[in-house]
Structure 1
Amino acid sequence: MRLNEITFTDAKPVEGYGPGFFRIGGDVFHGPLIIGPSGVTAWTGYEDADALLALKDTVDVLFVGTGAETAHLPSQLRRTLEEAGLGVEVMASPAACRTYNVLLSEGRRIALALIPV
């Protein structure tokens, strides 16, 4: 598939990442962040459940990139998100970026919370 054949929704794809940063829609962002229907916002990490809960009515699935390696979410955070009805998929940040881009190209209602690699 040629990448220029993909049509993204209004949300922006992840174009690249590296130590401590992500490139999204042509802009570089440093540190943890959330990419959702309303754009890209800074995220303070696992302690900031409210920022993730704000997505519950606008997305069907939240992908959480846990950095260079897959790690478990803190149990209280996972429980809070699931009790709110927000579907959560956890994986390493590189895999989360790729999965997000594919589903974004399909027009799916998704969001992405990322910890840098």
Structure 2
Amino acid sequence: MKMHQDSADGSYRIVRYGADGVQINEQIYTESLLLMPDQIITSWAPTRIEDLNGHHLTQAQSLNPEVILLGTGNHQQFPDRAVMRPILQSGIGLEVMDTGSACRTYNILMGEGRRVVAALIISID
């Protein structure tokens, strides 16, 4: 897992997303990642919703967000309830949506100064 920090203005904004990946500021990412306004964790393991387990969401939870936006690829797909339960019981919000919606929502919440984590499953075929 690689970590990057220090964008030019101190925040990471999603510029675009599509079949070739997600562009954050000037960089294009083609692997799943965890994104916060001040931090990017690359090479996040799940490449499809079936790969997601509790450890992956615990990584997002460890960043102390108010809310986690789980982008599940081209379509909204819900992980097993047992995977989501610890996050929901912790009081952290968890929103499951397709990756495009997660990217748009991340930018809005980040712009409001919220402590948000976008957990984006990206699979390039």
Q: State the aligned residue count.
A: 107
- What stretches of structure 1 move > 3 A for 4+ residues in a row? none
- From 72, 86, 95, give the equivalent of 1:89: 95
Query: What amino acid is aligned across from residue 45 of structure 2 in structure 1?
Result: T
1:111 alignment partner in structure 2? 117
From 89, 96, 100, the equivalent of 2:106 is 100
Can you list the C-alpha shifts for 1:80-103, whole angstroms capped at 9, x where unaligned? 211232210111110110111011
Instruction: Supply the distance in 2 between the matched residues of 1:74 and 1:90 (Cα, whole angstroms).
Output: 12
* Structure 2 portions without partners, runs of 5+: 1-8, 47-51
User: Which runs of 5 or more residues in structure 1 are unaligned?
Assistant: 1-8
- Map of 2:40 onto structure 1: 40
Which amino acid counterpart does residue 108 of structure 1 have in structure 2? Answer: R
Q: Percent identity?
A: 29
- Structure 1 residue 38 displacement after superposition: 4.3
Q: Match for 1:51: what amino acid?
A: Q
What TM-score do you get using the length of structure 2 for normalisation? 0.76
Across the aligned residues of Structure 1 and Structure 2, the Cα RMSD in angstroms comes to 1.8
- Equivalent residue of 1:63, what SS? strand
Q: Is the 8 A contact 1:18 1:116 kept in 2?
A: no
Distance (whole Å) between structure 2 residues aligned to residue 77 and residue 37 of structure 1: 25
Q: Secondary structure at the match of 2:113?
A: coil
TM-score normalized by the length of structure 1: 0.81
**Map of 1:19 onto structure 2:** 19
